[in-house]
């Protein structure tokens, strides 16, 4: 075991972290950048992190807060001010069409709301656990979750109006 277990830790957690990061960012390069950043911070404090009850939870918290921080910083300079999802063409694979749809819907959410949705409904964290990761109250998590789901539903329903086949398959 090298690096006091750090390499083994990375091998174990990189993929789940990348999945979370990909849902937060919707972009492969961005997701890998985010995971790398979180792991560098973990390595900086590795002696402490490895003794934590859940080193993965520590890195996940760094990952999520880094993402929210990046988005906040980017919003002061260059930002997407309007997002109009491409309509999937008939020749696209259905699964690709669905993931494109969900990725576009997630982009409709603010970084914090998106983080709550990902932590609650992908990571299956409780409200209390999500609140600890984001450093906010459980009521805030509850509010964000409700708002996020409503926005997702509204976006997906609106898209369904123009593409009923995808919606029908998705909800079946």
Partner 1 sequence: MTDVRTLLHDLAADAPRGHGEVTADRVVDLHRAQDRRRLRLAGVAAAIAVVVAAVPALVDRSGPQDAAAVASAGTAEAASLFDAPTRGSLADDADAVTSAREASWGEGIPFRDAGDILDPGPQDRHVAFVGEVPGGQVWALVVGRTGPQLAYAWFVRGETGDGFGWRLVTLPERTFAGLPVALVDGAGEHGPLLVVAMPDEDIDLVPFGDASAGLPEIRSSEVSGGIALVDVDTPASGFSLGYEVAGAVDSPRSTFRPVQFDSTDQGSYGDVVGSIITAVTDEDTGAAVQDCLVSGGLLEAADDGGLTWPYLATDEDAVAFLAAVEACRASAGQGD
Q: Where along the sequence are the contacts to partner 1 (CB under 8 A)?
A: 3, 6-7, 9-11, 14-15, 18-23, 25, 27-33, 35-37, 39-40, 43-44, 66, 69-70, 73-74, 77-86, 95, 98-100, 102-104, 106-107, 117-118, 121-122, 124, 149, 152-153, 156, 170-171
Question: Based on CB atoms, which residue is closest to partner 1, 139 or 154?
Answer: 154
Nearest approach in angstroms of CB 142 to partner 1 is 15
Nearest approach in angstroms of CB 58 to partner 1 is 15
Q: Which long-range contacts (CB under 8 A, 24 or more apart) does 95-101 make?
A: 97/166, 98/166, 98/169, 98/170, 101/156, 101/159, 101/166, 101/170
Helix axes 138-160, 164-171, angle to 10 degrees: 130
For 131, the token pair is 């609140």
Nearest approach in angstroms of CB 166 to partner 1 is 12
Nearest approach in angstroms of CB 131 to partner 1 is 19
Question: Based on CB atoms, which residue is closest to partner 1, 57 or 149?
Answer: 149
Q: How far apart are CA 123 and CA 20, in angstroms?
A: 8
CA distances from 43 to 34, 59, 65, 154 (A): 14, 10, 17, 41
Specify the residue for token string 């603010």.
Answer: 110
* Residue 109 half-sphere exposure toward CB, CA atoms < 13 A: 29
Question: Based on CB atoms, which residue is closest to partner 1, 62 or 134?
Answer: 62
Nearest approach in angstroms of CB 18 to partner 1 is 5
């Amino acid at each position: 075991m090298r690096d006091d277990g750090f390499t083994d830790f990375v091998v174990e957690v990189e993929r789940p972290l990348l999945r979370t990061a990909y849902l937060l960012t919707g972009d492969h390069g961005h997701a890998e950048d985010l995971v790398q950043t979180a792991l560098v911070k973990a390595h900086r404090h590795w002696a402490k992190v490895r003794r934590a009850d859940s080193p993965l939870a520590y890195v996940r918290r760094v990952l999520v807060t880094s993402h929210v921080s990046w988005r906040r910083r980017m919003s002061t300079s260059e930002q997407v001010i309007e997002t109009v999802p491409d309509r999937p063409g008939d020749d696209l694979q259905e699964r690709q069409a669905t993931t494109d749809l969900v990725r576009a819907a997630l982009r409709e959410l603010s970084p914090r709301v998106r983080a709550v949705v990902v932590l609650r409904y992908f990571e299956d964290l409780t409200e209390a656990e999500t609140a600890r990761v984001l450093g906010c109250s459980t009521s805030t998590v509850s509010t964000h979750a409700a708002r996020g789901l409503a926005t997702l539903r509204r976006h997906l329903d609106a898209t369904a109006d123009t593409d009923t086949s995808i919606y029908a398959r998705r909800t079946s």
